[in-house]
Amino acid sequence: MQAKSEVTIKFSGSLPEAKPAENKKVEVSLTDQNGVVFTALINAKSWRKAETNTAEFADWAGAISGKLGQRTENGFEVVDAGLQIFEKKAKEPKPDVEAEATGEVTGVAS
C-alpha cells in the first residue's frame, strides 16, 4: 500500500532564521520539542511576504508544510515546503451566561 507522508511544523513568537540558498530560496531550520530538526527550502518571495506579515500582525502563528523528506543527521528534510503566516484574532468575550439564564438584563430602562 502506498502512502504519502506530509508534515506541518507550527511556530509562533518569531520567524526562524533563514539562510540564503540556491535557486531563489532560503533555508530554514526548526527544532521541535523533542530536539528533532526540520530543514526546509522556502521560496525567497514567500519568505519576504512572511516577514512583512509578521511585522504587520499584532499576534500571529506560522506553519511550514510539505512532504517528509530524507533523514538528516539531526532530523528530517521537508520537501516542496510552503510557508503560511496566520493572524491571530482576539477572541470575543463570551456573554454572561447567568444573566441570560435568569432573564436579567442590565442597563435597560422599563
**CATH code for the domain of 82:** 2.40.50
In a domain, 107, yes or no: no
In a domain, 1, yes or no: no
| 20 found inside a domain | yes
51: domain range?
Answer: 6-102
Residue 109 lies in a domain: no
Q: How far apart are CA 74 and CA 3, in angstroms?
A: 24
Q: Domain for residue 64, yes or no?
A: yes
Number of domains making up the chain: 1
The pTM score is 0.75
CB atoms within 10 A of CB 86: 14
Beta-bridge partners for 75: 37
- Residue 12: what pLDDT? 92
Q: Note whether residue 110 is domain-resident.
A: no
Q: Decide if 108 is inside a domain.
A: no
pLDDT of residue 101: 55
Q: So what's the pLDDT on residue 91? A: 78
pLDDT tens over the chain, length 110 residues: 898 889 999 999 899 999 999 999 999 999 999 999 999 999 999 999 999 999 999 899 999 999 999 999 999 999 999 999 999 987 777 776 555 555 555 555 54
